Amino acid sequence: MRNLLMKVNYDGTNYDGFQTQPQGNTIQDRLEQAILHLTGEELKITASGRTDAGVHAYGQPFNFTTSSRIPLERWCLALNARLPQDIVVTEAREVPLTFHSRRGAKRKTYRYTINGNRFPDPFQRRWQLHHPVRLDIPAMQQGLTHILGTHDFTSFASRRSTKASHVRTIFEAHMEVDRSMCRPSSLDQGVIQTYITGSGFLQHMVRIIMGTLIHVGEGKIDADHVAEILAACDRSAAGPTAMAKGLALWSVEYDETESESFFL
């Protein structure tokens, strides 16, 4: 048996998230179907984590064991020929049988994209939340600093969360603003990218953080009130859940030895 570790990019617009669902319309379902068509094996893949319906990913790791002897260099092209065009496998490595994509993940980064220009970008509409009303970006950046560190993130977790503990660690969080598409002499604010890196994330956690920060940007919540929302450990204290389409799993990191060996 071989344990293969791969990376997949996908546009999640038309799917019910990564993890398999009864209706069979998930990224996992499509990948397992492609492997079945390629090797004849009915198997279950293990991913680095879940994504919600409508959420995207760049290079999400997943692994599975197979008895197939297909050479590594052929796997990506062979699977992509059997996958929809909005799902693309980009890398394949053979790893020890003990490797587990989810348990081995040390850091995950999500990116949330807001188009702050007056008009939406028709070419990026599936990947951006359009917010034409002016936002106080410095206030949002100030609010973002309050989530750094190890906290109980119950206020920023879905009420449906079944996790025994809502304690998570956020290592880094920052915003970047790209004004290259702003029209001269306009009120365009550009494309606002928020990157959040943590040890792990709860259901809807990043989207609720972003919904809260948008309220900060709109002047509905004071930036420093984010600390009080976090301390409340009460979902009703936070802002709304931001739309899924603006969210993408940006990267997943393993320890230095593993990352050097697996994805060079």
CA dist., res. 103 & res. 243, Å (int): 28
SS3 139: helix
Length of the chain: 264
Q: Which of 11, 52, 121, 224 is catalytic?
A: 52
Strand partners, 56: 248
Active site residue 52: yes
CA dist., res. 216 & res. 114, Å (int): 14
Which residue type sits at 43?
L
* Angle at which helices 27-39 and 72-80 cross, to 10°: 120
C-alpha dist (Å) from residue 57 to 27, 41, 238: 10, 25, 26
Is residue 110 a known part of a binding site? yes
Asked if residue 118 lies in contact with residue 131, where contact means CB atoms within 8 angstroms, the answer is: no
DSSP state of 118: S
Direct distance between the N- and C-terminal alpha carbons of the chain, in angstroms, rounded to an integer: 23
Catalytic positions, written as ranges? 52
Residues in the annotated binding site for substrate: 110
Residues in the annotated binding site: 110
